[in-house]
C-alpha cells in the first residue's frame, strides 16, 4: 500500500470564515496542526484571485488556491506545485506572473462570457446588470463590502456575475440559453455566476492530478469542506467530505455514506472541530 498524502480543499465564506464576522480565529489551531504535518490547505471558492490572496496573507496560508468556482488556480512561489510548474509550465498551460508565481486557467476567458451574456440580453431584452458594468462604489452599496474589498471582487478573470432584475420565469430561460451557448450558471446569494463548463470539482480533480505527478509514490487523498449548494459537487467528488452546518439553509446531503461527515458546529468552529477529529484518526499512532 502506498503512503497517503492528504490535501484539504476548503470553501471560505461560511466554512473557513464565519458567516457574519468573516473571522477564522476558531480554525487557527487546526490550520497550524495541518501545516505542521505539511498538509496543503487549498481555498476553493467563488472569490477572485485578488480577494483570496489578501485572505491567505491574513490567515497565514501559502498553498495553491482555486478561484471563481473552478475558473482557475493561483500557485504562489511558496506552494508545493510551484516546483512542478517551474520545470514545465507549458505542459500545464501555466502563466508566469512573476513574484506572484503561476496562474492557470481552467475555464473560459471572462471576455467570452461577457460577450455571450450581452448577446442574450440584446436579443431577449432581459433586465440585468453585469458585474463589469458596476463600479467599486456600486458593488459596495449592493453587497456591503468596503470599497477596498469591493475593488478586489471586481477583478474577475473567468466568471461574470450578474445581478438579476427580471422575473423568475425569465431567469430560467436565461440559464437555459447560457447552457445552450456552451456555458453554465451557478446561483449565488446575490448573483448569478456565468462561466465556462467548470466547477469546484473539476478544478479539484485537476489539482489532485498535478499533486499525483509531484508525489508519484503516494496515494493522494482529497478532503473537501463546504456548507453551500455550490460546494456540493466538490463534496461529492472528494475522497473525504465534511459538510459544515449552514444557519441559512438546510444541510447539504451527499449521495454516498462512506467518508462523509456532517459537522453541526458553524463556520471556523466547525472547520476546526472536523479537521481536528480527522487528524486524530490520521496521526493517532
Residue spans of the domains in the chain: they are 4-107+216-282, 110-195
Which of 171, 159, 233, 163 has its CA nearest to residue 195? Answer: 159
Asked if residue 200 has pLDDT above 50, the reply is yes
Q: Are 2 and 218 in contact (CB under 8 A)?
A: yes
Longest dimension (CA), the chain: 64
Asked if residue 176 has pLDDT above 50, the reply is yes
- pLDDT, tens only, 124-147: 999 999 999 999 999 999 988 889
CATH 3.30.565.10 fits 110-195, yes or no: no
Coil, helix or strand for 75?
A: strand
Q: How confident is the model at residue 285 (pLDDT cuts 50, 70, 90)?
A: very low
The single-letter DSSP state of residue 47 is S
What is the overall mean pLDDT for the chain?
Answer: 94
H helices within 45-81, ranges in order? 49-59
Pairing status of strand 4-10 against strand 41-43: parallel
% the chain with pLDDT above 70: 99
Q: How confident is the model at residue 158 (pLDDT cuts 50, 70, 90)?
A: very high
User: What number does CATH give the domain 4-107+216-282?
Assistant: 3.40.50.1000
Amino acid at each position: 500500500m502506498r503512503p497517503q498524502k492528504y490535501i484539504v480543499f476548503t470553501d471560505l465564506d461560511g466554512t473557513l470564515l464565519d458567516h457574519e464576522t468573516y473571522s477564522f480565529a476558531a480554525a487557527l489551531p487546526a490550520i497550524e496542526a495541518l501545516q505542521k504535518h505539511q498538509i496543503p490547505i487549498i481555498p476553493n471558492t467563488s472569490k477572485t484571485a485578488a480577494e483570496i490572496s489578501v485572505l491567505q496573507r491574513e490567515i497565514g496560508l501559502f498553498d495553491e488556491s482555486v478561484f471563481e468556482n473552478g475558473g482557475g488556480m493561483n500557485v504562489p512561489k511558496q506552494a508545493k506545485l510551484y516546483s512542478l510548474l517551474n520545470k514545465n509550465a507549458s505542459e500545464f498551460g501555466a502563466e508566469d506572473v512573476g513574484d506572484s508565481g503561476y496562474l492557470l486557467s481552467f475555464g473560459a476567458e471572462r471576455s467570452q462570457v461577457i460577450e455571450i451574456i450581452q448577446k442574450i440580453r440584446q436579443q431577449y431584452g432581459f433586465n440585468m446588470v453585469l458585474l463589469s458594468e458596476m463600479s467599486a462604489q456600486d458593488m459596495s452599496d449592493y453587497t456591503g463590502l468596503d470599497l477596498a474589498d469591493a475593488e478586489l471582487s471586481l477583478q474577475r478573470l473567468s466568471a461574470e456575475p450578474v445581478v438579476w432584475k427580471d422575473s423568475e420565469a425569465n431567469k430560467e430561460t436565461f440559464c437555459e440559453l447560457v447552457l445552450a451557448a456552451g456555458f453554465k450558471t451557478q446561483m449565488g446569494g446575490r448573483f448569478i455566476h456565468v462561466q465556462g463548463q467548470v466547477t469546484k470539482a473539476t478544478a479539484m480533480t485537476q489539482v489532485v492530478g498535478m499533486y499525483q505527478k509531484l508525489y508519484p509514490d503516494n496515494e493522494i487523498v482529497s478532503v473537501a469542506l463546504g456548507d453551500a449548494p455550490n460546494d456540493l459537487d466538490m463534496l461529492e467528488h472528494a475522497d473525504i467530505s465534511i459538510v459544515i452546518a449552514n444557519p441559512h439553509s438546510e444541510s447539504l446531503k451527499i449521495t454516498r455514506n462512506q467518508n462523509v461527515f456532517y459537522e453541526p458546529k458553524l463556520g471556523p468552529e466547525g472547520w476546526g472541530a472536523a479537521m481536528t477529529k480527522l487528524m486524530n484518526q490520521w496521526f493517532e499512532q
